[in-house]
Amino acid sequence: MSRKKIGIMGGTFNPIHNGHLVLGQTAYEQFHLDKILFMPTRNPYYKKINQSATLEDRIAMVKLAIEGNEAFAFSDLEMQRDGAIYTVETLKILTQNNPDTEYYFIMGADSLYHFETWKEPEAILKMAFLLVAARDDVSSHAIEGQIEYLENKYEEGRIHCLYTPNLEISSNNLRRRCKEGRSIRYLLPQKVEQYILEHGLYQEEL
């Protein structure tokens, strides 16, 4: 019996935008995955979350964004845990609960260059494939060089380049546009745009 192949899209999603969705869809198609889990984090160790959108707001926006796409599913696994959230701990829970599943952790190229500083990077590579997307001005050639370096360093290295359209959209920029009263149309799903406007999110940076 073949194992299930599940992708993981993690992040604060504050707010979720079309760049996240295109990345998830591309990974789903390129690696023939069964499902992509969109997994908002409650309290990432690596940055402070802008508090103008609540935890409930971020959850609602993710659910609205992935609505209607059978390849996408929502996961609240990292929302259920208090304290700093680490990828290795999430993967330990997933692999223990679902031994019949292969996990594919989706990340941007910028994260790949800091991967050695993550908690237990070797353990992460034993539990999941890494799918690395080009972002900003980082070329696929440069990414492949970093992949080769990490695969040589870690015996269990299973890292692949994810070839995806490079959409110049960031959550930080979207929050800034909201604060300045500028349009966010076409940068995120219409339902998410409506939610932000109806709830008056990101009017002030908190």
| Token duo for residue 61 | 């926006």
Pairing of strands 101-108, 72-74: unpaired
CA–CA gap between residue 135 and residue 59 (Å, rounded): 25
| Token duo for residue 127 | 């539990």
Helix (H), strand (E) at residue 72? strand 72-74
Q: What is the DSSP letter of 116?
A: G
- The pLDDT score that the predictor gives to residue 47 is 59
Q: Which residues of the chain have pLDDT under 70?
A: 1, 44-51, 135-139, 205-206
| Overall pTM surpassing 0.85 (yes/no) | yes
- The pLDDT score that the predictor gives to residue 44 is 61
Buried b (16+ CB within 10 A) or exposed e, 65-86: bbeeeeebeebebbbebeeebb
CA–CA gap between residue 105 and residue 87 (Å, rounded): 9
How many CA atoms are closer than 13 Å to the CA of 167, on its beta-carbon side? 17
- The pLDDT score that the predictor gives to residue 134 is 73
CA–CA gap between residue 137 and residue 185 (Å, rounded): 25
Q: Which residue has the tokens 């964004």?
A: 65
- Residues forming a β-bridge with 106: 131
